[in-house]
Structure 1
Amino acid sequence: MYDSVGERPFDNYRTPITEPSYFFGRSELIHTMLKFPFQVRILLGGRRLGKTSALRAVEWNLLDPNNNPDRNPNSKYFRRAFPVLIDLKLEQPKDLDNLRYILIARLREAMERWREIPVTYINQMYPEFLNQVKGAEVTLNFLSSLGINCNSNNSDTEKRLNNDNFRLAFLKTKEELRKQKELNFQGVCFLIDGAEFIVRQTWATDAWSYLRGLKDTDIAIKSALGLLLSGYRDLKEYQQRVGSPLLNIAEIEWLTTLSEEDTRKLVCDRISHMLQTYDTEKEKIFLSEDAIAQIIEWSGCHPYLIQQLLNMIFDSNQQFELEQQCLDTHLINKLLQHHDKDFSSWWNTEHLSGCFSEDERKIYCTLIEQRQATPKDLAKNTSFSRFKVSEALEVMAGTGVIHLLDDESYILGSRLFQEWVKDLTSNTLSPNTSESDSEKQSQQVLLDKQLCKQNQIQNQTQINYQDFQIIVDKNHYIRASSEQGEVKNQLLLDINKIKLTLKLVELNQTDTELLKALGHELYQALFPDKINARFHATLASAQTKKESVRLRLIFESPELASLPWEFLYDEDTNTFLGNNTETVLSRYIDLPLRKSDLKAVSLPLKVLLVISTPTDLATLDVAGEEKLIQEALKTHIETKNIELDILQTATRREIQQKLNEKHYDVFHFIGHGEFENNKGYIILVDEARKAKYMDDENFANFFLGSHNVGLVILNSCQGAKVASNQAMRGTAPNLVRRGIPAVIAMQYSIFDNTAKLFADEFYRTLALGYPIDAAIQKTRNAISMECGLNTRDFATPVLYMRAKDGIILSGL
């Protein structure tokens, strides 16, 4: 019917859908960028959601002299930015210097294109303006005029700019832009498409730090530079996993699907466009309300799928009367076949960014069964925490295959994608199987393939680590050892300088800046120049090999051991080491764990929870504490991954009897403690339920000769006094020295929501077979994501262990 694909009216999803000034469903983003063009923003979205189109629409609106968010063309408060669109997937810079060159080169080329196009003809020349191919000659001439030499015989990937030359070129260009009085250009906004390219490079941290420096400390540039980075979920995951100086200050926006209203407008606009373009007397397409409703249902308002459905109707050369249905089985099957590769790249191409992880696929399959559910509902029906489910749902909504409703519940999006998933998991069915039997079999296949069986947990101990061990002796002398050898230095820390900060943390009067300042002081003391360089070399080596770094701290001085090293903050990477999942942090007791000392276990993990509530001390909410732990572990108990026993009468005899009755893997204590003269006391109860103080040595006797308990958890709940936390922390290393492979102590009291999150996330990762240090690091990370970095909660759990590889329970 039409020989040229370019003639198909609905095949332009890669460029703005309609007039550049109005991009369906993206008007809020465009308005924000017009009003605040010198901020840092990240635009996240799945494949084919129109990220590039959105950037082009932003580009055009910033260039349109008639477009002013203040509605006043003479407004003094409207500072317009000159847009420069760069696709890093095409550019593929080799290093930071090359990236600097590309930024300046594309800026100069954009300016030359702009000068060649009179403002009055921009609307008519928009398609040509977008499609202009970049060239390097103008850029080279300009840079030469500044005294910057580039070899014109080399490709762009071979050209470099250092910081001084970049600043010189940028500031000169900024002044040229300001001379364009009619548009009031006050600076530049780089629209960077495919920004996830950077996170995969070894120089990523340098790039983020450099760009952050331009926005933070370069007085001449910061107010005249805006950044809009577009990419897949890699950007967000990199920020959470590694941290990024630039990404941490960015406003993150998900580019989701269109609304039903905008979908209707888009369909009508495209039909209208076609009727104006083609011979309407020969070939007409009329879409009824029912037909449009079907397009909405099958596309799930995904802009790419909407247009593909319209193309399929257009290509089928059918006349659709008002009463006819437009999407028959033949068309749907044809579309499913045609886009199998696209859907597969969303679903399970794990080496590509933007696809679903295995866990997300399981959660999606569960949502298929429930049709509509909240994160809480889905957490009950999977083996994942509510936090994990919420994070997965956010990613899938950002991909466009599910939708978030106003009541915080999620529904399935594109029916086309649902059918593809069902077909994928039921392709072994017999052709003669009835539709109802087929549906049942399909669901069973989904469950078998996508969901963990209740009594089988995947062993995830095969994580590769590079060790970095720091020993600080009683004279404050540091020895840091790694695969690269040993480095020595002196620890210099004026504790008086941080006393006030420590007190504020103890009183829970913190914010992000205070905690970063404390963490930076601790980091500078523990990682002086040579040790810091060696540590970063280890990090770089691990990142290249896709490994993690196991950071073990040994303090021989009680004074230093009592400091909250879990707040260690590395300014170079803008990360707290205690919650960075690529760097697992623990306190190590140099008493190596032999294989014969490992506790042989099998699922379910057997946990004994002891809640001590003496009547003559501050009352603890026993019922509340018990309920909190039970709710946190409910899913794990139902799936037979954890078996929980609770002891409320915490006398010495009752505890000893319980430990003799059953071989517990984990001993979890909640209650009071006391710390006096550098000695910790755990407070149990006597027969009269009064307080009975037990020093750390006697408390450790509970576990002498025990070949069952592999882990002890000590925490003060909300309401316990400050001394309790010191007691827990002081008791923990003694328990390890008496034979327990690992002990977790809470160095601060925690609130109920944090305690619940800790129990849920920690026991889940432990049951999955993670090493104990990796499990606690993931838990700290989950707490930081839920509670933020402005509270002490994420650094509250302290792990003491004597297993170099973190394996304390064998058999998982």
Structure 2
Amino acid sequence: MPDLTCTLSVDDHKVWLEFDDAIYSAAVRDDPLVELLVKRLDRFVTHHAPGHTGYEVTDLKLLGAALFNILFGQTASLMPGKKGAAPKPQSVGVSLGEVLRDRLAKHQSAGGVFRIALEFNGKAEALGSFPWEFLYIGEPHRTGYFLSQKATLYRVVKPGGQPHFSPNLKAVVAWAVPPTLDHLTSTDKAVEKIRRAFQVTAGCQVEQWPKVTWEFFENKFNNAGPGSIDILHIIAHGRRDGPDVQLAFHLPEEKRLAEETELQKTNPHAVVQRPEWIMVSDLANLLNKRPPGLVFLHACSVGRVNPGVDAFRGAAELIAGAGVPVVIAMQYEIDNTDADVFTAEFYNIIATPGTTIDEGVRQGRLRLAETRPTWGHRRFATPIIFLSDPTAQVVSAPAAAPSLAPDGAGGSGDFAPCPFTGCTNRVKVAGWYCNCPRRRKLIRCANNHPNDPDEERCWRQECQLPLSGASAPPATRPSPQGADGT
């Protein structure tokens, strides 16, 4: 089953859910009480320190269910515009939420990846400030699930630049942690996580820009050359200052000394250690000159989009609008341990050949959700992604080996069960790696079937050719669940 990406577009009064074969529409639920509930719960969740929760999983489910009710609570209509559709809208008799739930269940049972591209237009842009990553399907006090458990939700980059990553990857880790601000995660860890993730599959040159001032950052970026930075990972503190979003850089030493000298005229013991706060709009204008393929904003309080159409947009959205095709950011404050967990998982996944970038975010969210209390902390909804192309990959899958099997057995579009014992995922026959947690390189028989490298013969009962020239008796291990001989 191929991946499925549906688009969820919201305008002033309507929601449009578009699949390849159908378009559904419903009214946005205009209920001031529901929106007030979302805002109050969001504020309640926001104002707790990362490591301490005064809220429970039921509070997060209630927030997610209220969000779901706004977009998916009304009766859906099947719209004209796709092959086989009626010439005018027809009510389907169920809510838009039921349409989504049914499509998701059918697609997942077939083993495909399900994506939702979320975009807000016109007056509906005000809704973009809500934390949609908490979307919850079901009643908070009954059986249900957070959408993040079964699908990838990403926000659409407008306008969308096309991602491009060079064969010889270059990453830059720029960090600024002025002494008066709290310590963020170890910068060395970020450098090592990126380098280690890519060293097996593609290799990656990782350059570090430590304790950066804004002037230093500008000069280094301008002199880096066109298209030379594939991944820009920024570690810094962020804040809102009225309508503006700002990042903290180190104060240039000459400026610091000048301020300190002036203060010491009246206070001999005065010491200047303040940061230099730079508007994210300045950063976006700089990146627009030669946009990196991916920007990772490893900073607190910079992921959210604007709380009103006239307010300053969130850093992630603004940078995405500057032509950066992929932007990862945090919409809540995140503690160092959680940040390290997400960073490691994200880069490990996107370094796997043929794996999409949004899959790295999805797997990173799942890892955060596993931390106790499971799905009971805001951490899983903290990372957000702005994306122009859901098929974007940092490391492309290598070309498939020539297939000696009959037509249809091993083509680049085929999927097969993962050959690793205990894994129920499906893997592209043409791929090198499975997306299960083992992420080990697969080995192939002469018919191009992917196999666990510990096996001596192909595990498929209709094949059982030796692997790597091994001579072994026919394998007796049963085929993994879901084997279909493709």
Of 138, 142, 156, the match for 1:571: 138
Of 228, 242, 245, the match for 1:680: 245
CA contact (8 A) 1:672 1:682 kept: yes
CA contact (8 A) 1:675 1:681 kept: yes
**CA pair 754-771 structure 1, distance change in 2 beyond 3 A:** same
- The residue number in structure 2 matching 1:553 is 118
In the alignment, does 2:382 pair up with 1:796?
yes
Runs of 5+ unmatched residues, structure 2: 77-95, 257-273, 307-312, 398-486
**CA pair 489-745 structure 1, distance change in 2 beyond 3 A:** same
Amino acid at match of 1:668: H
CA contact (8 A) 1:466 1:538 kept: no
Write out per-residue CA displacement over residues 615-639 of structure 1, whole angstroms, 9 at most, x where no aligned residue.
Answer: 4x42435xx5224424645643664
**CA pair 685-579 structure 1, distance change in 2 beyond 3 A:** farther
Amino acid at match of 1:620: H
**CA pair 607-579 structure 1, distance change in 2 beyond 3 A:** farther
Q: How does 1:205-224 map to 2 (within 5 A)?
A: none
Looking at secondary structure, tell me which structure has more strand per residue: 2
Amino acid at match of 1:497: L
- The residue number in structure 2 matching 1:654 is 216
Q: What TM-score comes out, normalization by structure 2 length?
A: 0.62
Q: Tell me the CA shift for residue 677 of structure 1.
A: 4.3
In the alignment, does 2:172 pair up with 1:611?
no
Amino acid at match of 1:626: T
CA contact (8 A) 2:294 2:324 kept: yes
Q: Tell me the CA shift for residue 559 of structure 1.
A: 2.8
Of 28, 50, 54, the match for 1:491: 28
Of 702, 707, 731, the match for 2:315: 731
- The residue number in structure 2 matching 1:472 is 10
- The residue number in structure 2 matching 1:589 is 157
Give the Cα separation in 1 of the matches to 2:21 and 2:287: 38
- The residue number in structure 1 matching 2:186 is 625
Write out per-residue CA displacement over residues 440-463 of structure 1, whole angstroms, 9 at most, x where no aligned residue.
Answer: xxxxxxxxxxxxxxxxxxxxxxx8
CA contact (8 A) 2:305 2:317 kept: no
- The residue number in structure 2 matching 1:774 is 359
Q: Tell me the CA shift for residue 811 of structure 1.
A: 4.3
CA contact (8 A) 1:710 1:808 kept: no
CA contact (8 A) 1:469 1:552 kept: yes
Name the structure, 1 or 2, with higher relative contact order (CA <8 Å, separation 6+): 2
**CA pair 501-544 structure 1, distance change in 2 beyond 3 A:** closer
Give the Cα separation in 2 of the matches to 1:810 and 1:599: 10
Q: How does 1:18-167 map to 2 (within 5 A)?
A: none
Give the Cα separation in 2 of the matches to 1:669 and 1:680: 15
Amino acid at match of 2:62: A
Give the Cα separation in 1 of the matches to 2:56 and 2:380: 13
Give the Cα separation in 1 of the matches to 2:165 and 2:336: 32
Give the Cα separation in 2 of the matches to 1:590 and 1:724: 18
Write out per-residue CA displacement over residues 654-687 of structure 1, whole angstroms, 9 at most, x where no aligned residue.
Answer: 2233333362211111212222444322232341
Write out per-residue CA displacement over residues 102-153 of structure 1, whole angstroms, 9 at most, x where no aligned residue.
Answer: xxxxxxxxxxxxxxxxxxxxxxxxxxxxxxxxxxxxxxxxxxxxxxxxxxxx
Give the Cα separation in 2 of the matches to 1:544 and 1:793: 28
- The residue number in structure 2 matching 1:208 is none
Paired residue secondary structure (2:174): strand
CA contact (8 A) 1:681 1:727 kept: no
**CA pair 547-648 structure 1, distance change in 2 beyond 3 A:** same
Q: Tell me the CA shift for residue 771 of structure 1.
A: 1.3
Q: Tell me the CA shift for residue 789 of structure 1.
A: 0.9
**CA pair 543-672 structure 1, distance change in 2 beyond 3 A:** closer
Amino acid at match of 1:775: G
Paired residue secondary structure (2:323): coil
Greater displacement, 727-736 / 524-533: 727-736
- The residue number in structure 2 matching 1:272 is none
- The residue number in structure 1 matching 2:72 is 527
Amino acid at match of 2:224: E
In the alignment, does 2:351 pair up with 1:786?
no
**CA pair 797-661 structure 1, distance change in 2 beyond 3 A:** same
Give the Cα separation in 1 of the matches to 2:304 and 2:41: 17
Give the Cα separation in 2 of the matches to 1:628 and 1:698: 28
Amino acid at match of 2:190: I
Q: What TM-score comes out, normalization by structure 1 length?
A: 0.38
Give the Cα separation in 1 of the matches to 2:117 and 2:198: 32
**Greater C-alpha radius of gyration:** 1
Amino acid at match of 1:713: F
CA contact (8 A) 1:468 1:535 kept: no
Q: Tell me the CA shift for residue 693 of structure 1.
A: 2.9
Amino acid at match of 2:37: K
In the alignment, does 2:295 pair up with 1:712?
yes
**CA pair 632-808 structure 1, distance change in 2 beyond 3 A:** closer
**CA pair 745-600 structure 1, distance change in 2 beyond 3 A:** closer
CA contact (8 A) 2:191 2:208 kept: no
Paired residue secondary structure (2:118): strand
Give the number of equivalent residue pairs.
Answer: 333
Give the Cα separation in 2 of the matches to 1:587 and 1:533: 22
**CA pair 634-740 structure 1, distance change in 2 beyond 3 A:** closer
Give the Cα separation in 2 of the matches to 1:680 and 1:610: 18
Q: How does 1:203-242 map to 2 (within 5 A)?
A: none
CA contact (8 A) 1:736 1:743 kept: yes
- The residue number in structure 2 matching 1:750 is 334
**CA pair 609-727 structure 1, distance change in 2 beyond 3 A:** farther
Give the Cα separation in 2 of the matches to 1:498 and 1:654: 41
Percent identity at matched positions?
23
Amino acid at match of 1:705: K
Give the Cα separation in 1 of the matches to 2:3 and 2:27: 27
Amino acid at match of 2:173: L
Give the Cα separation in 2 of the matches to 1:725 and 1:589: 14
CA contact (8 A) 1:680 1:726 kept: no
Paired residue secondary structure (1:606): strand
Amino acid at match of 2:355: Y
Paired residue secondary structure (1:600): coil
RMSD: 2.7
- The residue number in structure 2 matching 1:701 is 285
Write out per-residue CA displacement over residues 406-460 of structure 1, whole angstroms, 9 at most, x where no aligned residue.
Answer: xxxxxxxxxxxxxxxxxxxxxxxxxxxxxxxxxxxxxxxxxxxxxxxxxxxxxxx
Greater displacement, 781-790 / 685-694: 685-694
Q: How does 1:375-394 map to 2 (within 5 A)?
A: none
**CA pair 499-734 structure 1, distance change in 2 beyond 3 A:** closer
**CA pair 776-637 structure 1, distance change in 2 beyond 3 A:** closer
CA contact (8 A) 1:673 1:725 kept: no
Looking at secondary structure, tell me which structure has more helix per residue: 1
